[in-house]
Every structure is written in structure tokens, then in C-alpha cells.
Homo-oligomer: A and B are copies of this chain.
């Protein structure tokens, strides 16, 4: 598994080096045009006072790799914003190497890394919000009629990936991606990938 570390100054802290010895460190300015490919985790350092949006912006997420925010000043708000920005987790920049390795295990296997204190708040708020929305979207059930593979493709499309990228990520041909998409469109009754994206993202029923 590859690790990419993104920092404004392209500096890697000692604890990162210890936990992720083979990581590739990238500066913010060197980020333009960089496309991440293959299995791996993207780590983004958020320095003191730096907004999450700014730290995460410019990072290519089309490869589908999970992103973890390393915050100099972590707090619940920051973690929430990081998750909202699509991160799979957020932890202290100066966390011990053992903790970072744990994060790798969790995030690399599709989990979310969230501090316990935040969990209650996040879930509570989200639950209330969904209840307010009439629970329609929470129960949209777009996955129900799809096979596991189709759902996987649907999610990647919803995240903005192109067919070629999906093919590379799932290690199948572009032709197969198209086949899955045709099936998905038919099952969900949408006409193209953009409508699918809206549906998956709960913006359209």
C-alpha cells in the first residue's frame, strides 16, 4: 500500500516517517495535476489555523483512495469538517507512530477513524437531520436493487470518477464498467451518470 503525504511545506514529521517509512511527501504547490493511482492512503496535514477546505482542496480524489487529515489542532469541529470534506478520518499530526499504524489498518480496510467523543455528536446530529428530512433520503435504498459490484461502480461514479478511472481502480476493463453502468441505469431508472450521482448523493429521488 502506497502512502502519499501532502503538506504545505512538504515536511514530514518524525512520527510520520516512523509509521509510514515509504511514504511520498508532496508540497502543496507540487500538487497540481498529480493523479493518485492504485491502492493507498492520502494523508493531508492541516497546519495551525489552516482551514480544512484549503488543506483538502486540490487533492485528486478520483482514484478513490481514502484521505486522512493530520491536524495540528484537532477538535470536534475540525474532524467534522474533515469528514464533510470526504476524509475517512482525522487525527493529531503528532500522534504516536503506533496510532498512525492503527489508522492505516482501519482506514485501509474501509473504516472510518473518528475520535470517540465526536462519534456521539456526529451520529446524533446526522440522525436528527435525517429525521428532519423525512427519512426519505436515509432510506432511499438505491443499493437495494444493485449487486455488490454494481453498487461499487455506482459509488465511484457518484464521486466523479470517469469510466477509465473506475476500470483502473477495480482492475477490470472499461467495457465492463460500461456494462455495469447500463445495468445500474436500468435498475435505478436514471438516464446518465450525472443523474446517478445526484441519486446516490441523496440530492434527487
Contact = CB atoms under 8 A, between A and B. Distances in A.
Interface stretch (A10-18, A173-181, A193-201): A193-201
A189 to B, nearest CB: 8
A57 interface: yes
A54 B141 CA distance: 13
Interface size class of A (residues with CB under 8 A): 35 or more
A27 interface: no
Contact of A111 (B75, B114, B192, B202): B114
A204 B102 contact: no
A126 B122 contact: yes
A139 B86 contact: no
Interface of A: 53, 56-57, 61, 75-77, 80-81, 83-86, 89, 102-103, 105-107, 109-114, 116-117, 119-130, 133, 135-144, 151-152, 155, 157-160, 162, 192-195, 197-198, 200-205
Contacts of A75: 139, 141, 143-144
Contacts of A61: 204
Contacts of A139: 75-77
B111 A204 contact: no
